[in-house]
Amino acid sequence: MKRVIVCFLSLALLALLLPIFASCGGKEEITLYVYNWGEYISDGSEGSLDSNAEFEKWYEQTYGVRVKVNYSTYSSNEDMYAKLSGGATKYDVVVPSDYMIARLIDEGLLRPLNYENIPLANEIEYSVMFADGIPSYDPEKAYSVPYTYGTVGIIYNTTMVDSADVDTWDLLWNEKYAGNILQFNNSRDAFMTALCKLGYSINTESEAEWREALAELMAQKPLVQSYVMDEIFNKMKSGSAAIAPYYAGDFFTMYADNSDLAFSYPRGEGERTNVFVDAMCVPACSENALVAERYINFMLTKEIAIANAEYMCYASPNRQVFLDADYQATMQEIHPDAMKILYGTDDVSLELYENLPEDKLMLINDLWEELKIESPINASIFVIAGVILGGSLGLGIFFAVRSRRRKKMLVGLWD
């Protein structure tokens, strides 16, 4: 009995000491949850630098603590918002766009940043993105550090489009190219093209102006081959479409597979286009705010920032990037006018999306549904259904008549 008690006490003591021995033999490990857009960081593919792996290595060497980056992606600001506001998952770093940053700040979902941990934020040149150098979505620059920015323009096939027709939103409404025009398959961007064509603000609170934009999109619809997002890549690369509004950075991906493609900004009188900023933020729910801020600062270091910018092909507001001669040379290899397309927008009127009031967001959704419910695809379904119904009625009448004839013949035979 004594032996049993001694063995039991020994095992209990060993169980208590094991965690101590384990901690002595290993290092503390932290999981950092990063939530970003897809294809939005240099990840080691095709010989590129793996930014997250480099951060993990650097953090352990610098602070003696192991950090594992748990990196996941989203396809829209709204998807990210739903996850963050739902509270089911905790993130440490998120990269929302301008108008969504404003919404997250208003709802208390972001944590103010401690810039002592992000000294390289001083390398951000706000004037390349905003004429007054002030981000309207975060005017005090208290919650966000710009990661990248971009603009919307028009991609077109030079073998299919007359150069005299470009540099204006009117190109998307030109009947000459009916059936070869693509349009955004999301309400905010599609309405943006119509509002800009009309010379209105993309953040207008006038219901009349939104309805006028709907009328423009209705007029455009018969000319549109398809409403697209990611599908644009195959359509423009293959030459199955000639014109599409899209983001400047993504143009270079398409150009790599089809050198007949070109890019232009709308410069017609009174016209403008959208400029968007995606910025790094720390959610209020973060359990590793210090590590998150060090991660943000690491993404701003010269080597990492250049690697990310070259991988994404979007513009960088980081002076260490856009002023670097090697970066400029690399972008010029991708496209002769890459630097001009990304950074030469001084003569283009740019406007950020703002976080619109709830009633305006509902109005946009209603107008978008009104546009899409009357799409040619739906109309064709009704036509096909009508043909099928008509055919069914015709067959019914045929068999009914034949049945009557048979009855008459049988009656005649019996008589």
Q: How much is the pLDDT for 385? A: 45
The whole-number average pLDDT for the span 393-415 is 43
Q: 245 and 184 in contact (C-beta within 8 Å)? A: yes
- The reply to whether 150-275+358-377 shares the fold of 29-148+278-351 is yes
| Residue-wise burial string across 278-307, b where 16 or more C-beta atoms lie within 10 A, e elsewhere | bbbbbbbebebbebbbbbbbbbbbeebbbb
128-180 confidence digits (pLDDT tens):
999 899 999 999 999 999 999 999 999 999 999 999 999 999 999 999 999 99
Architecture of the domain spanning 150-275+358-377 = 3-Layer(aba) Sandwich (3.40)
Least confident of 33-47, 273-287, 365-379, 398-412: 398-412
The whole-number average pLDDT for the span 17-44 is 76
- Residue tagged 């918002």 (tokens): 81
In terms of CATH, what superfamily is 29-148+278-351?
Answer: Periplasmic binding protein-like II (3.40.190.10)
Where along the chain do its domains lie? 29-148+278-351, 150-275+358-377
pTM for this predicted structure = 0.83
